[in-house]
Structure 1
Amino acid sequence: MSSRSRHDVKGPAGVSAHGPSTRQLRVAEEVRRVLAELFARTEFRDPELLDVRITVTEVRISPDFRHATAFVTRLGRSDVEVLLPALKRVAPFLRTGLSKALNLRTVPEIHFQPDTALDNAMELDEIMRSPEVQRDLNSKPE
């Protein structure tokens, strides 16, 4: 029998099979909060980010706390993918802002991904409202 306990179970890429730890969740939320503040009060020099409202919806931290994936969306628009190169360019500046605001041993490197949850929910809502689905939902089984 192995000497590993049931708490040592690891999934792919070293991620715990039980999901993120409490500390990962807490740090991720703090990173999200600070990034949201930075996006709200900073005027970026990058022309692609001028007058752009970016919302950070979620942050996920790697188990070693070296990488943070920030899920972002544009307020009122769904074309955040075009901003990803500009966000990558300002990531070092944002990381510096994180280091000043958070008391962490290692400040994570920031990676950006578009948040498609709202788009997916709207698409699902549209499907659910379609006449075909409504007909199937309202029909009684024989």
Structure 2
Amino acid sequence: MRKNSIKNTRINGEVQKELSNIIRGEIKDPRINPLTSVVAVEVAPDLKTCKAYISVLGDEKSQQDTIKGLKSAEGYIRTMLAKSINLRNTPQITFILDQSIEYGVKMSKMIDDVTKDIADKTEE
């Protein structure tokens, strides 16, 4: 199976949807920020491993605590994933902190500041 096959893309989407449901509704760990979202999921073609890119709205400590909480609950998450998705193998999940949304917001703010300065100079 090729890495970007239709089947693999469909599995990635399904795992992402179920992971976000599990994180949002099933886990009661206080370390996990309620504003946690699963940005992307990459399941290996052999269905043995999975990288889950997690975005957390909050400060650095909140982000680190959320990743620690998810890593400690990985066994439970994997069990719940196995119950909700019928795959040959339930993948071993690796949680990776994704800061692309935060980076995008920061860049957008910087662009707005520059364009505002240019607009102010043209009005003078």
TM, length-normalised to structure 2: 0.78
Aligned to 1:103: 86
Aligned CA-pair RMSD: 2.6
Q: How many residues align?
A: 117
Counterpart check, 1:127 vs 2:110: yes
CA contact (8 A) 2:36 2:55 kept: yes
Aligned equivalents of 2:98 and 2:65: distance in 1? 13
Q: Which has the higher contact order (CA 8 A, sep 6+)?
A: 2
CA-to-aligned-CA distance 1:2-44 (integer Å, 9 cap, x gap): xxxxxxxxxxxxxx6xx62222111111111111111222142
Distance 1:124 1:47, change over 3 A: closer
Aligned equivalents of 2:82 and 2:109: distance in 1? 42
CA contact (8 A) 1:69 1:110 kept: yes
| Cα deviation, residue 132, structure 1 | 7.6
Counterpart check, 1:60 vs 2:42: yes
Consecutive unaligned residues in structure 2, runs of 5 or more: none
- Aligned pair partner of 2:10 in 8, 14, 26: 26
CA-to-aligned-CA distance 1:79-116 (integer Å, 9 cap, x gap): 42332122111011000011101110011011111121
CA contact (8 A) 2:55 2:101 kept: no
Q: Which has the higher helix share?
A: 2
Consecutive unaligned residues in structure 1, runs of 5 or more: 1-15
| Cα deviation, residue 128, structure 1 | 1.6
- Classify the secondary structure of the residue corresponding to 2:52: strand
Aligned equivalents of 1:22 and 1:62: distance in 2? 13
Aligned equivalents of 1:41 and 1:82: distance in 2? 18
CA contact (8 A) 2:47 2:88 kept: no
Distance 1:132 1:57, change over 3 A: closer
Structure with max Cα Rg: 1
- For residues 25-104 of structure 1, the aligned pairs below 5 Å read 25-44=9-28, 46-49=29-32, 52-74=34-56, 76-79=57-60, 80-104=63-87
Structure 2: which amino acid aligns with 1:118?
Answer: I
